[in-house]
Amino acid sequence: MQSRGRTTLLLFLLFQALYALTSSGNAFRVPDEFEVYFQVEHLVDAGDISVPQTLAIRTPAVRDGRTVGSEPIFFGEIGLDGRPYAPYGPLAAVLALPHHLAARAIARLAGVQRAALPGGLAWVILVGGLTMTATATAAALAVAGFHRAALELGTPPPAALTLSLLLGGATVLWPYGTSFYSEAWQAAAFVWAAASLLEARRLSRLADAPSASRARLLVVLAALLLAVAGLTKSTSLIFAPGFVVAALLDRSLPPRTRVETALALGLGIALAAAIHLSWNTYRFGRPFDFGYGWGDMIPQLPPRQFLIGDVPRGLMVLLLSPGKSIVLWAPVLLIAAARAGRFWRQEPGAALGVAFSAMVGLLLFAAYLFPEGGYAHGPRNLVPIVPLLLLPAGGADSGRWSSAAVAACAAVGVVMAVLSISVSFLEDQGGRIGPVSPNVYYRRIDPAPGRSWIQYRLDYVPFVSTMRSPGWTQAEALGLGPDFFPLHLLQARRQVPNGAAIPLWLVWSLPATWLLLGAFAAAGLIRTASVQKSL
C-alpha cells in the first residue's frame, strides 16, 4: 500500500509540473478567467469576492459592426450592497488563494512592484499568470485521485498507472490544467469523492471497529468533496446525484450502510445547494439568481436556460462535432466503453452511478443555452466527469487491452491536447459575429424567446484558423501567439509599462523548475513501472 501511495504522489508531481510548464499564464481572456482572478485578488485586498476592478477597465463597445463608445468588461450583476459580483461559485476564488499568495511573494522577491494601472500592469500579468497554476494543481489532483480510485477497484498497478497517464496526458483534462477555468477543480473533487467511497467500502467490510470508524470518516469526506464541487460551480450539482445512485445500488454492502452513505452524500449536495441559494439571496435578494448577465446575449429575457427541443443538436455538439466531441477530446474513453459490460458485472452500483451522471449531464447540457461551454477548448461542460467516465476501464481483469487500440487513443489524445495548449481558445474562436466579420465558432441566429442570438457552429474545426494566421507565428501582440506563460512574460517585458521590471532570470527559472520536478517524478515512475513489470 505504501508503494501505491508513492506512485500516486509521483503522478501528482509529474502532472503538476507538466500542466504548470505548459500553462497559458493568460488569465485575462474571458470573464470566466479574469473575473475569478479579480475575485481572489480582491479577497486578499479587501476581504470579499466582489470584482470592482472590472468597472474600472473599459473596452470599445461594438454595435452592429460599429464602435459606439466604451463599456466596462464586467459580466455579472450589481448586488444589493452596490458591489459588482461575478456569476461563479463562491469557492472558486478560495481554492486559488494559496497560489495567489505565493504569486505575490514571488513578485516581491523578483522586485516587481504593484502600482496603479497602467503602470502596474507588469505586476498584474506576472501575479495573474502565477495564480493560474492553481488549476495545474487541480488537474494533477484529478489524475492522482483517479489512480487511487482505480486501485480501489482492484485494477492491477501497471494498468492503473497506464490509465492515469492516458487521463493526464491524452485527454481534455490537460488544457483545463493550463487555463483558469474551474472544471479541473470539479474533476478533482468528484474523482477523489469516488476514491474515498471505494476505500470506505473496502474498510467497512472489515470486522474491526477502527476500520469502520475510518470508513465513516471517508464517507463524510466524500460528501464534503461533493459540496466543494458544487460550490466551485453550481452546474456541478447536475452530476452529483450519480454518487447517491451508486451508493444505494452497491449490493456488496448491507442495506443500512448503503442508506447511511446515500444520506450523507445527499446532505453534502444539499449543503452546497443551500449555500448557493443563501449566497444568491444575500447578493441579489433572489435565491435563484446566480448573477449571470444575460442581457447582451439573449434579446428576449428571461432566459430559457434549458430547452428540450435543443437536445438533438446539443448531443451532436457534445458527441460528434470536431470541436467538442468528448470521444475526440478524450479517446481513451473508448476503452472504458469497450469494458462497460464487464464493469457492470463487477461493479453494478458504480456502473449505474457513472451511467446516471453521464446521461443526466449529456441530456441537460445538450438542452443548455451553450452546450459547447462558451469560448473554450473541447467539451467544457463534461470535463468534470471525464475521470469518472474512465473508471470502467479499470477493474481486476483490466490491462488486457489491444496495444494498437491504446496507442491509437494515446496518439489522438496527445495531438488534441498539445494543439489545444499551444493555441489560445479565444484567439482561435473569438471575433465579431455578423455578416461583415464572420466568426468560425459562432453564427448569429434569430433565436426562440429566451434563447441566445449566437449559436455554436457544428462545422468548427479547432486550431486551423489561428495556425494559418500570420499573427500567430509573429506573435507581436500581448497575449497572442503560442499560448505559454514564459512567452507572454517576454511580450510583457517589451510592451507594457514597467514590463522590464520582470527579470529575465524569473522568466526562465519558472519553466526550469517545472522541468526539474517533472524529470524527478518521471524517473520515479519509470522505476516504479520497471518494478511492477518484474513482479
What is the rounded average pLDDT of the residues 300-319?
Answer: 92
Helix (H, G, I), strand (E, B) or coil at 443: strand
User: What pLDDT sits at residue 303?
Assistant: 87
Please determine, for residue 61, whether its predicted confidence score (pLDDT) is greater than 60.
Answer: no
Which tens digits make up the pLDDT trace of 8-53? Answer: 999 999 999 999 999 999 999 989 999 999 999 999 999 999 999 9
Please determine, for residue 109, whether its predicted confidence score (pLDDT) is greater than 90.
Answer: yes
Please determine, for residue 321, whether its predicted confidence score (pLDDT) is greater than 90.
Answer: yes
Q: Which residue has the cell 479547432?
A: 462
Least confident of 149-158, 289-298, 348-357: 289-298
The answer to whether residues 191 and 146 touch, using CB atoms and an 8 Å cutoff, is: yes
| Total residue count of the chain as it appears in this document | 535
Distance CA 363, CA 311 (A): 7
The answer to whether residues 93 and 36 touch, using CB atoms and an 8 Å cutoff, is: yes
Closest CA to 183 of 457, 322, 387: 387
Least confident of 417-426, 435-444, 480-489: 435-444
User: What pLDDT sits at residue 93?
Assistant: 94
Banded model confidence at residue 164, pLDDT cuts 50, 70, 90: very high
Closest CA to 522 of 119, 175, 169: 169
100-127 burial code (b ≥16 CB/10 A, e <16):
beebbebbeebebeeeeeeebbbbbbbb
Residue 345 Cα distances to 340, 341, 351, 392, 397, angstroms: 9, 6, 9, 11, 12
What cell was used for 26? 493568460
Q: What are phi and psi of 11, to 5 degrees?
A: -60, -45
Q: What share of the chain is helix, strand, coil (3-state, %, to 5)?
A: 65, 5, 30
DSSP string, 117-156: TTTTHHHHHHHHHHHTHHHHHHHHHHHHHHHHHHHHTT--
Banded model confidence at residue 58, pLDDT cuts 50, 70, 90: low
DSSP string, 229-255: HHHH-GGGGGTTHHHHHHHHT-TTS-H
Closest CA to 309 of 368, 269, 351: 368
Please determine, for residue 353, whether its predicted confidence score (pLDDT) is greater than 60.
Answer: yes
Please determine, for residue 234, whether its predicted confidence score (pLDDT) is greater than 90.
Answer: yes
For residues 206 and 149, the model is more confident at: 149
Banded model confidence at residue 389, pLDDT cuts 50, 70, 90: very high
What is the rounded average pLDDT of the residues 136-164?
Answer: 96
Which tens digits make up the pLDDT trace of 436-453? Answer: 456 889 998 998 888 899
Residue 56 identity (one-letter amino acid) = A
Is 229 buried (19+), middle (13-18) or exposed (0-12) by CB count in 10 A? buried
Distance CA 241, CA 355 (A): 11
Distance CA 172, CA 183 (A): 11
Please determine, for residue 62, whether its predicted confidence score (pLDDT) is greater than 80.
Answer: no
Helix (H, G, I), strand (E, B) or coil at 506: helix
Closest CA to 402 of 332, 329, 325: 332
Helix (H, G, I), strand (E, B) or coil at 404: helix
DSSP string, 38-65: HHHHHHHHHSS---THHHH-EEEEEETT
Least confident of 63-72, 329-338, 483-492: 63-72
What cell was used for 481? 501567439
Please determine, for residue 468, whether its predicted confidence score (pLDDT) is greater than 90.
Answer: no
Mean pLDDT of all residues in the chain? 91
DSSP string, 58-122: EEEEEETTEEEEEEE---SEE-TTS-EE-SS-THHHHHTHHHHHHHHHHHHHHT----STTTTHH
Between β-strands 58-63 and 66-72, what pairing exists: parallel, antiparallel or unpaired?
antiparallel
